Amino acid sequence: MTVKSADEIELLRENAIIVSKTLAEVAKNIKPGVSTITLDQIAEEFIRAEGAIPGFKGYRGFPGTLCVSTNEEVVHGIPGNRVLRNGDIVSIDCGCQKDGFYGDSAYTFPVGEVSAEVLNLLKRTKESLLLAIDLAVAGRRIGDISSVVQEYVEGFGYSVVRELVGHGIGRQLHEKPDIPNYGKRGSGVKMPVGLTICIEPMINMGVKTVVQDADGWTIRTADRMPSAHFELTVAVRKEKADVLSTFRYIEEVLGSSSI
């Protein structure tokens, strides 16, 4: 694990805010009839206008600025000609890099009129993230974060993806430690002040099993039931987590339709 200095955390915060604002810019354009590549182009233009570069584009060969995953796709959907439809949900995961540090955040959006059952999945996945952030304080263990996500969402009959986890972040997009969304309270590494992590519940309405598409990237649920994904970056502090990214800009765009 790499503990960050105060100055490094501020550079991470700057990247986190750029990503947060990028997701809000994308949110303005999420509607039936828009293509996922259009959303990707909007994001890239916005990130570059902020003096940063896309953090995902070219990362391990990924072709897009955004990961755009719809409905049963959990993560890593490749932007393309697919058009969003009324009733879809779409998870947008966005990263950027500026001054040697990364930003990373994700949000799952409803498209048009979405069923109450699916909206509940989104709401409760986001709630599990906020509960986890409350435990990202010095002296707590990674397992405390993991267990609260698992216990909360499984209480509603949902399942937690095992193969994909949150992560540390800094000069690398993915650093140690891993932050699973399942686990045992009191287990795992004890978190020090200055640790910076991305907490990102990936929660399925049906079974926890996932499969990878032939494109080598897209991960979807094995039973084709919907999946939700929310992610924020936090710095571990003594008494309360310092949340570096924010959903505030997104929710200003969404207004009364906010999850």
pLDDT in tens, 102-117: 999 999 999 999 999 9
Model confidence at 138: pLDDT above 90: yes
What's the predicted TM-score (pTM) here?
0.97
For a pLDDT cut of 90, what percent of the chain falls above it?
98
Give the CA angle between residues 124, 238, 234 to the nearest 5°: 45
The span from the CA of 33 to the CA of 81, in Å, is 11
The span from the CA of 218 to the CA of 228, in Å, is 14
Tell me, what's the pLDDT at 258? 59
All structural domains of the chain = 6-257 (3.90.230.10)
The sheet carrying 227-229 orders its strands as 159-160, 202-204, 227-229
Residue 157 CB-density burial (10 A; 0-12 exposed, 13-18 middle, 19+ buried): exposed
The span from the CA of 247 to the CA of 254, in Å, is 10
Tell me, what's the pLDDT at 61? 96
Model confidence at 46: pLDDT above 70: yes
Summarize pLDDT for 4-17 with one digit per residue, the tens: 999 999 999 999 99
Model confidence at 34: pLDDT above 80: yes
Torsion of CA 15, 178, 157, 86, to 10 degrees: 30
Confidence of residue 257 (pLDDT cuts 50, 70, 90): low
Give me the chain's average pLDDT, please: 97
Which residue type sits at 27? A
Tell me, what's the pLDDT at 256? 58
The span from the CA of 51 to the CA of 244, in Å, is 18
Summarize pLDDT for 230-241 with one digit per residue, the tens: 999 999 999 999
Q: Which helix (H) or strand (E) holds 175?
A: strand 175-179
Q: Tally the C-alpha atoms within 13 A of residue 36's C-alpha that lie toward its C-beta.
A: 25
Tell me, what's the pLDDT at 153? 98
| Tokens describing residue 113 | 């009129």
Summarize pLDDT for 60-99 with one digit per residue, the tens: 999 999 999 999 999 999 999 999 999 999 999 999 999 9
- Residue 215, classed as helix, strand or coil, is coil
| Tokens describing residue 166 | 């949150």
Tell me, what's the pLDDT at 25? 98
- Helical pair 6-27 and 36-49, crossing angle rounded to 10 deg: 140
Tell me, what's the pLDDT at 80? 97
149-154 contacts: CB < 8 A, separation 24 or more?
149/181, 149/182, 149/201, 150/181, 150/182, 150/183, 152/124, 152/127, 152/128, 153/124, 153/125, 153/128, 153/201, 153/203
| Tokens describing residue 55 | 């953090």
Average pLDDT over residues 200-207: 98
Where do we find the tokens 């909360």? 152
**Which spans in 70-226 are helix H?**
116-133, 142-154
**Which spans in 28-115 are helix H?**
36-49
Tell me, what's the pLDDT at 1? 87
Average pLDDT over residues 199-207: 98
Confidence of residue 22 (pLDDT cuts 50, 70, 90): very high
Model confidence at 49: pLDDT above 70: yes
Summarize pLDDT for 165-191 with one digit per residue, the tens: 999 999 999 999 999 999 999 999 999
